[in-house]
Amino acid sequence: MTVLPVDLARHAHRPELGLPVEILSIASANPTYKVSQKDALANAATIYPQFASLHGLFANTGIDYRYTCQSTDWYRRAHTWEERTEVFQEHALKLLEKVALDAVARAGLSLGDIDAFVTNTITGLAIPSLDALLMDRLPFSPNVERLPIFGLGCGGGVAGLARAARFAQGRPGRNVLFITVDLCSLCARPNDPSMAMFVAAALFGDGAAGVVLRTSPNGASEGGNGEKPVVLTFGEHTWRNTRHIMGWDVKGDGFGVVLSPELPTLMRNNLGQVVKEFIGRRGMSLRDFKGFLFHPGGRKVLETAEDVLGIDRSRLAHSWDVLRDFGNMSSATALFILERAMASGDKGRHLLAAFGPGFSAYFVVLDL
């Protein structure tokens, strides 16, 4: 298999390409409760009887199972902001702690070796932020640099990976940890009879993931030849006047789901051009990519990517598999897909992509 080289000299003359960043390790975690799509439908039918004619939606998602941090009964009851926040912080910190410990151990490091870490979420609030709260649970250095990210939704896993890679590029030889968690199930509001909330009940689950990154002072090794996978470059695109497409409405008892039916059309009309422009500015074309690791916001996102990019479903296999096994875990999903690709021994150039409120697209080019 031919692997495109990492040309360090070329990077030095192109500001959109920085030093390549090695992925030293990756880890993922889910909470306790595993819920079949059949059981999720039964629960949603109890909460939202007005959508009885739309129960087929659950069968058409491509999802078999999801994980949640609470039992089914919890989601049938109304909860205050205080209750949601307490549950969010408890379970988010447990999952972040697990993926941090696992990722650092797999990298052959200790927590004291981490020079900076980035955290991301969109499904709950914490002040001090989650990264600060982790400082009391894990033996990081008291001088570790921290960056919390909030509000990027499903795009947060890819955007956070890019921000962490930027940290690593600016500090060659330093170890950077990126961890992300979203507990989408906690945003269920049984007193909200909206179509958006019903669709969310069919798609979303809970999960966390983390990676450890480092840039060699002499430039990272090339991916695909038995070396560590490499973050080669990254970028993003935000469409103007699209804030209504996706996000949260802050309600009195929690987050209200914003999910516009315009989303599939927006992506179908624009995704192909944006992807081609992103890779084209970096001297690449679709032919250079062995695989595509796209966040499956839903099956329509993946089907649209296949259509507008002209790629076979097999080249998005890991995305389809993660959707089937875990549903949409918001930000963590993209790293679950990357973990599948790495565990499968995939090699060559891959495009990792995700989409979030803004409306925005986030991209990372990887050599595995």
- 291-294 and 349-356 as β-strands: parallel, antiparallel, unpaired? parallel
**Residues involved in catalysis:** 154
Q: Angle, to 10 degrees, between the axis of helix 299-309 and the axis of helix 317-326?
A: 170
Secondary structure of residue 209 in the 3-state scheme: strand
343: left (phi over 0), alpha (psi -120 to 50) or beta: alpha
Answer yes or no: are the C-beta atoms of 100 and 209 closer than 8 Å: no
- Upper half-sphere CA count for residue 311 (Cβ side, 13 Å): 25
Answer yes or no: are the C-beta atoms of 323 and 300 closer than 8 Å: no
Question: Tokens 């947060």 sit at which residue?
Answer: 156
- 175-183 and 145-150 as β-strands: parallel, antiparallel, unpaired? unpaired
CA dist., res. 131 & res. 112, Å (int)? 15
CA dist., res. 190 & res. 213, Å (int)? 41
CA dist., res. 192 & res. 109, Å (int)? 46
Answer yes or no: are the C-beta atoms of 179 and 96 closer than 8 Å: yes
Please give the DSSP secondary-structure letter assigned to residue 297: S
Residue type present at position 331: S
Secondary structure of residue 72 in the 3-state scheme: helix
